[in-house]
Amino acid sequence: MSQGLEPTITKLEQWTDKWQNNQIAFHQMSNHPFLVNNLKKLTTTSDEKIRILFPLCGKAVDMAWQSENGQIKIYNGDFFKFSIDLEKPFECVWDRGAYVALFYELRIKYIEHIKKILDKKAKYLMEVFDYDQHLYPGPPFSIPIEEIRQFFGLQFQVEFIESRLFNPFGNLLVKDKHPKMSSSVSKETGIEYWNQSWIKNEIFFHKNENNAYLVKHLNRMIGNKQKSRIFFPLSGKAVDMAWLASLGHEVVGVEFVQMACEQFFSENNIKFTVKDLGDLKLFSSEDGRIKIYNGDFFKFNTKLEKPFECVWDRGAYGALHYDLRAQYAAHIRTLLDRNVHYLLVVFEYDPRTFGGPPHSISQKEIQTFFGDEFKLELIDSQPFESYNKTINPEPGSNNLYLITKNLNLKN
Ligand SMILES: C[S@@+](CC[C@H](N)C(=O)[O-])C[C@H]1O[C@@H](n2cnc3c(N)ncnc32)[C@H](O)[C@@H]1O
């Protein structure tokens, strides 16, 4: 990271210095327009007197505005020591300049902490900035919505409400007068996106050699079996399917784009037949070892194929955006045998550096989406270069998980 791009604040004590030197450019003398415009959204849950939490409040004038005829309490001290022993859980939170003021690791801790002081019905308004972090190092940091969703987790819904342009921060780094959307806003990864990728031949994910994790850890999935049946959800034209069939295994893929199915068979010189099944078409190799269902994964079910004991998931779960991943996990669970050995390959990296696909996926997220019924084991991990060294030079990791059923649980 070049010197000018170091975050201007990295330690708690630096805030004290800022206040002492009156370097509080973040302080605004008027009420915040987002709060004014959306106050009703924030406070409708409560019939009684409204209590609003202002975490990391500074001397925000909005506190005085909201407390007309009311009461203001400011706890002076470390936010991480503030708990429901001091105040009952909050139904309303106005977070301006708090979350965005913290660097990545602290944001994780902050959300973990604030969740403990929220009421079940809590509504939380948060202002964040989204800009090209090459131009300004923060704080305030540039925050993608995906990150907020990831940190809050599934019990919370994160909704985008309002947006406005802002002037670039500072003037030392202004190369572009208009703030750009951050590179970490993820692309839409619905079916049309994939269709276009195949049509334009932008299939960066396709590799012509077998996946190294699959070769190395095949036995973790199939055991010592000579003949297994292996599921390839969102298969693309993965060459691994041909390799496994050549070893004597059966392979079942599901792929939405017809061109991908056709290319798989023609590029691997495998003769095939096609059958129309209504929602899906079935492409089968003549020897019956490879079947690819062409159509939407969410329409594929156990009426078509009995539950699977072996799953190879590379570029499937990790290729989908957050909401789709939740749906995907719920659907694939219905396709799994109780003895399943499911190998899942995902990337994990600082989501500010790249918006995906492939998306950055934590172990916690996978566990949440698959649920307690499944056991998750990290069995291999390799570093890979940061997508954007200016934002964060730390390498990401390419992780291989083994998912099995947690047979200690009933059902
Ligand atoms: C990132 S690629 C990975 C392909 C393959 N697993 C590989 O490793 O090469 C994701 C594939 O999923 C397919 N896909 C996306 N959404 C799908 C859906 N709902 N149903 C079936 N296939 C889908 C896309 O067309 C694309 O070929």
Q: What is the pLDDT of residues 371-386, one digit of tens each?
A: 999 999 999 999 999 8
From the alpha carbon of 318, which atom of ligand 1 is closest?
1
pLDDT the model gives residue 44: 73
Please report the beta strands in 144-239, taking only residues with DSSP state E, as ranges in sequence order. Answer: 229-232
pLDDT the model gives residue 5: 47
- Ligand 1 lined by 254 (C-beta under 6 Å): yes
From the alpha carbon of 191, which atom of ligand 1 is closest?
16
- When comparing pLDDT for 410 and 249, which is higher? 249
- Ligand 1 lined by 299 (C-beta under 6 Å): no
> Mean pLDDT lowest for which of 99-108, 237-246, 271-280?
99-108
Residue 76 CA to ligand 1 center (angstroms) comes to 52
Span 321-331, average pLDDT: 87
Residue 229 CA to ligand 1 center (angstroms) comes to 20
pLDDT the model gives residue 182: 33
From the alpha carbon of 324, which atom of ligand 1 is closest?
19
Residue 242 CA to ligand 1 center (angstroms) comes to 17
Condensed to tens digits (0 to 9), the pLDDT of residues 135-152 reads 677 788 888 888 888 888
Instruction: Write down the H helix ranges in 190-321.
Output: 191-199, 212-222, 239-246, 258-267
Pocket test for ligand 1, best of 199, 230, 234 (most atoms within 8 A of CB): 234
Pocket test for ligand 1, best of 187, 192, 194, 296 (most atoms within 8 A of CB): 194
Q: How confident is the model at residue 365 (pLDDT cuts 50, 70, 90)?
A: confident
Among the listed residues 182, 116, 197, the one whose alpha carbon sits nearest the alpha carbon of residue 146: 182
Q: Is 50 helix (H, G, I), strand (E, B) or coil?
A: coil
Task: Give the helix/strand (H/E) hosting 42.
Answer: helix 33-43
- Ligand 1 lined by 256 (C-beta under 6 Å): yes
Q: Indicate if the pLDDT at residue 117 is higher than 90.
A: yes
pLDDT the model gives residue 163: 77
- Ligand 1 lined by 94 (C-beta under 6 Å): no
pLDDT the model gives residue 133: 64
- When comparing pLDDT for 410 and 118, which is higher? 118
Q: How far is CA 357 from CA 190, 346, 347, in A?
A: 11, 11, 10
- pLDDT, averaged across the chain: 87
Among the listed residues 342, 271, 332, 270, the one whose alpha carbon sits nearest the alpha carbon of residue 305: 332
Span 311-319, average pLDDT: 97
- When comparing pLDDT for 198 and 158, which is higher? 198
Alpha-carbon distance of 258 to 264, in angstroms, equals 10
pTM of the model: 0.65
Q: How confident is the model at residue 178 (pLDDT cuts 50, 70, 90)?
A: very low
Q: How confident is the model at residue 4 (pLDDT cuts 50, 70, 90)?
A: very low
Q: Please name the residues in contact with 16: beta carbons below 8 A apart, sequence gap of 6 or more.
A: none
Residues of the chain above pLDDT 70, percent = 88
Q: Indicate if the pLDDT at residue 169 is higher than 60.
A: no
The amino acid that residue 11 corresponds to is: K
Residue 323 CA to ligand 1 center (angstroms) comes to 16
Q: Please name each of the domains of the chain with its CATH number.
A: 3-152 (3.40.50.150), 191-405 (3.40.50.150)
Q: Indicate if the pLDDT at residue 179 is higher than 60.
A: no
From the alpha carbon of 297, which atom of ligand 1 is closest?
20
Q: Indicate if the pLDDT at residue 234 is higher than 90.
A: yes
pLDDT the model gives residue 73: 93
Q: What angle do CA 330, 334, 337 make, to 5 degrees?
A: 130
pLDDT the model gives residue 3: 36
Residue 267 CA to ligand 1 center (angstroms) comes to 18
Alpha-carbon distance of 89 to 52, in angstroms, equals 10
Q: How confident is the model at residue 298 (pLDDT cuts 50, 70, 90)?
A: very high
Q: Indicate if the pLDDT at residue 99 is higher than 80.
A: yes
From the alpha carbon of 319, which atom of ligand 1 is closest?
1
Q: Indicate if the pLDDT at residue 210 is higher than 50.
A: yes
Residue 147 CA to ligand 1 center (angstroms) comes to 23
pLDDT the model gives residue 351: 79
Residue 202 CA to ligand 1 center (angstroms) comes to 13
Q: How confident is the model at residue 183 (pLDDT cuts 50, 70, 90)?
A: very low
Rg of the chain over Cα atoms, rounded to whole angstroms, equals: 25
- Ligand 1 lined by 258 (C-beta under 6 Å): no
Q: Indicate if the pLDDT at residue 170 is higher than 70.
A: no
- Ligand 1 lined by 191 (C-beta under 6 Å): yes
Alpha-carbon distance of 90 to 149, in angstroms, equals 20
Span 42-65, average pLDDT: 84
Considering 52-66, 94-108, 238-252, the range whose residues carry the highest mean pLDDT is: 238-252
Span 349-368, average pLDDT: 86
- When comparing pLDDT for 393 and 213, which is higher? 213
Q: Please name the residues in contact with 96: beta carbons below 8 A apart, sequence gap of 6 or more.
A: 32, 34, 35, 60, 62, 126, 127
Span 23-32, average pLDDT: 86
Q: How confident is the model at residue 1 (pLDDT cuts 50, 70, 90)?
A: very low
| DSSP state for residue 360 in the 8-state scheme | B
Q: How confident is the model at residue 48 (pLDDT cuts 50, 70, 90)?
A: low
The amino acid that residue 275 corresponds to is: K
Pocket test for ligand 1, best of 195, 243, 255, 314 (most atoms within 8 A of CB): 255
How many residues in total does the chain contain?
A: 411
Pocket test for ligand 1, best of 256, 264, 323 (most atoms within 8 A of CB): 256
From the alpha carbon of 296, which atom of ligand 1 is closest?
20
Q: Indicate if the pLDDT at residue 264 is higher than 70.
A: yes
Residue 33 CA to ligand 1 center (angstroms) comes to 42
Alpha-carbon distance of 80 to 196, in angstroms, equals 47
